[in-house]
Amino acid sequence: MMKDDESRLLEEAAEWRLISLLFECPAADWSENVRSLAVEVRDEELKKAAEFAQTQASEGLYHSVFGPGGPAPAREISYRDWVQPGYLLSELGTFYEAFSYRPALLEPPDHIAVETGFVAYLRLKEAFARESENGEAAEITAKAARSFVDEHLAKMTERITKTIAESDIDYLIHASAALFRRVGSDKDAKVRQTLPVLADPDEMVECVTG
């Protein structure tokens, strides 16, 4: 019989996978996959997102929101102008490689659908580790998931959620709200916003040297 912890993790994995799917570009059997996965979750917000997606989602709408020039870029690098793209992609690659994550989605590693899919994958790995009574592996995986959410998804989730909330795209409004509820605000945002801006080079030297 499956323990409560494993059942909870499998449910979380399904929720994260549905979030990931909702942030993918609708194509082929996407609608059917969303409908099928929605049956497996209890989160009412995600169920609403999946229901609205059946009539609202389209490739054109998706690209108008998340594509180049759209109001809500889907890539983390778009929200991190203080980080070099190469460094960010390398960091993500290290995360994915460490846990043998091979996303089938043909999007960049920092795409929101890829990143949320990774969290779903980690939830599954943690569930398997606990079922196998491998406590060490389970803790490592749980810690990695928390770190990944804080260090990557939190950098873009709140801003995407606020932007989409101003639209009339119900399925994305519910999907992004469900994601933000799991991710929360960027803990580092206030630190960056309160850093002093010194226009005078002499003031900068004085600040550093004391």
User: Which has the closest alpha carbon to 115: 78, 74, 80, 86?
Assistant: 74
Mean per-residue pLDDT, 174-199:
75
Distance between CA atoms of residues 207 and 210, nearest Å: 5
Residue 176 pLDDT greater than 50, yes or no: yes
Q: Which has more pLDDT, 1 or 39?
A: 39
Cα-based distances in Å from 46 to 14, 37, 95, 133, 179:
11, 10, 27, 31, 9
Using the predicted structure, report yes or no on whether residue 199 has a pLDDT greater than 80. no
pLDDT at 181 (0 to 100): 97
Mean pLDDT of the region 146-172: 97
Predicted confidence at residue 209, as pLDDT, reads: 37
Helix (H, G, I), strand (E, B) or coil at 36: helix
Over 80: is that where the pLDDT of 113 sits? Answer: yes
User: Tens digits of per-residue pLDDT, 58-84?
Assistant: 999 999 999 989 999 999 999 987 889
pTM of the model: 0.88
The answer to whether the beta carbons of residues 69 and 88 sit under 8 Å apart is no
Q: What is the pLDDT of residues 82-92, one digit of tens each?
A: 889 999 999 99
